[in-house]
């Protein structure tokens, strides 16, 4: 079966133990203000535009059926309001100034790519990590991927924010060795304000997960001025105290490296320090 992904990244050492390959699934049901993978938010393929790579060949202007691309006073413009994301411009852009992010990929194709680094996984105690976006949103696709990975004996990790039905967790639990579970904010009101959704279900899922036979690392992006206040941290400590089986808790420092990705998607980063 097929699913929507936006990247397969090899030789990753920051997303689980050992040397790993990360598969990024496209689509997320949260809108965290500081998200560093904005290309993973929508479920559909999108056009990314890097004007610094444009060589001025004009092919995109020629082939676009909706006249989205123009040049004005020497500056290349991409009028996204008209864009229907057919991808013809990117297909014909050889310099890589226009790229499509997100594609439908078959399970088999992804597994073949993952297999290429098997020796490294085996020797390092690594494996594969499914991330995104929110991987739990493509439950069937994810389950099939995990099943195939298990057939070849791979260690499987999932990076998730936990905002899905418990039934999805039930499906993937027997196939998952490690959950890298994001808890952004414990205070419910603040969570809703900064991520667009409440965290009741997220925290409930985590508590349920902590009773299952699986390894969990809780991760929190530390966003200055948002979740670094002492009251929030205390609430956090309280939550963690209830989760006796959580192996570790990691604070991920805020960075703005994703800002240029917003720009190339025609958006502006919702959060700035």
Partner 1 sequence: MLASVIADSAAVIKDDELIFGYNYYGSDEAMYNELAIYPRMEKGKKKLTDYLEQGKLTEEQIGFVIGALDSSVKYTAHTPYVPDASEQYADASSEGAVWSPGVAENHTVLGYEKVLRLGFSGILAEIKDGLKNLDLNDAASVKRKQLLECAAVVTENACNIGKRYRKKAEEKLKNCLRYEIAQDLNKMIEVLDSVPYGPAKTFHEAVQSLWFAHIINTWEDGINANSIGRIDQILYPYYKKDIEEGRITKEEAFELLCCLWIKLYRDYDVQQAMIGGVDQNGDDASNELSTMILDVTDALGFVRCLSVRLHKGSPQKLIKRALQVVGKGNGIPFFFNDDILIPALVSNGIELRDARDYAAIGCVEITIPGKANPHAVSNRINLLKCLELALNDGVSLTTGEQAGPKTGSVSKMTCMQDIVAAYKKQAEYFTGIACFESNRLELQNSLTLPMVYKSILTEGCLKSGRDFNNGGAKYNYHESMPMGIPNVADSLAALQKLVYENRKYTLKEVADILKGNFADETVRQEFLNRAPKFGNDDDLVDSYAARVLEHFCKTLKNIKGISGLGFFAQPFTFLWLIEAGSMTAATPDGRREGENIAYSISPMQGRDSSGLTAVLNSIAKLPSKMAAGSTSAIIEVDPALFERDKIDQMVIMLQTAFQKGVGQIQFNVTNAETLKKAQAEPEKYQNLAVRVSGFSQRFCLLDKKLQDHIIARTKHTGF
Q: Is 56 exposed, middle or buried (0-12, 13-18, 19+ CB in 10 A)?
A: exposed
List the structure tokens of 207.
Answer: 């508590």
**22 scored as a contact of partner 1 (CB under 8 A):** yes
Interface pick for partner 1 out of 10, 66, 193, 207 (rule CB under 8 A): 10
Contact, 177 vs 212, CB < 8 A? no
Contact, 116 vs 16, CB < 8 A? no
**88 scored as a contact of partner 1 (CB under 8 A):** no
Q: How far is CA 131 from CA 18, 92, 205, in A?
A: 16, 30, 18
**36 scored as a contact of partner 1 (CB under 8 A):** yes
**57 scored as a contact of partner 1 (CB under 8 A):** yes
**152 scored as a contact of partner 1 (CB under 8 A):** no
Our CB check for partner 1 shows the closer of 187 and 222 to be 222
175 DSSP 8-state letter: G
Interface pick for partner 1 out of 191, 216, 261, 265 (rule CB under 8 A): 261
**112 scored as a contact of partner 1 (CB under 8 A):** no
- Could you identify the residue written with the tokens 């009028």? 79
Q: What count of other Cβ atoms lies within 10 Å of the Cβ of residue 122?
A: 15
Our CB check for partner 1 shows the closer of 44 and 251 to be 251
Site residues for partner 1 per CB under 8 A = 7, 9-15, 18-19, 22, 36-37, 50, 52, 55, 57, 59, 94-96, 116-117, 119-120, 123-124, 126, 131, 159, 219, 252, 255-261, 263-264
């Amino acid at each position: 079966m097929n699913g929507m992904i936006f990247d397969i990244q090899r030789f990753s050492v920051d997303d689980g133990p050992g040397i790993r390959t990360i598969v990024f699934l496209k689509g997320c049901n949260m809108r965290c203000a500081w998200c560093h993978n904005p290309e993973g938010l929508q479920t559909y393929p999108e056009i990314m535009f890097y004007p610094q790579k444009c060589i001025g060949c004009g092919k995109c202007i020629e082939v676009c059926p909706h006249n989205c691309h123009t040049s004005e006073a020497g500056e290349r413009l991409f009028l996204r309001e008209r864009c229907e994301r057919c991808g013809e411009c990117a297909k014909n852009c050889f310099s890589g100034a226009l790229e499509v992010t997100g594609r439908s990929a078959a399970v088999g194709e992804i597994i073949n790519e993952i297999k290429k680094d098997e020796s490294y996984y085996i020797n390092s105690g690594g494996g594969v990590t499914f991330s995104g976006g929110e991987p739990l949103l493509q439950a069937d696709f994810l389950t099939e991927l995990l099943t195939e990975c298990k057939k070849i004996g791979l260690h499987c990790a999932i990076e998730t924010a936990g905002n899905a039905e418990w039934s999805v967790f039930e499906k993937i639990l027997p196939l998952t060795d490690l959950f890298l579970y994001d808890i952004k904010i414990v205070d419910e009101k603040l969570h809703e304000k900064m991520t667009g959704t409440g965290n009741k279900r997220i925290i409930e899922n985590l508590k349920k997960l902590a009773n299952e036979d699986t390894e969990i690392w809780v991760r929190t992006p530390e966003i200055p001025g948002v979740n670094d206040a002492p009251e929030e941290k205390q609430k956090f400590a309280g939550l963690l105290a209830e989760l006796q089986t959580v192996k570790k808790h990691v604070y991920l420092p805020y960075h703005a490296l994703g800002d240029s990705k917003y720009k190339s998607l025609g958006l502006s980063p919702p959060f700035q320090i």
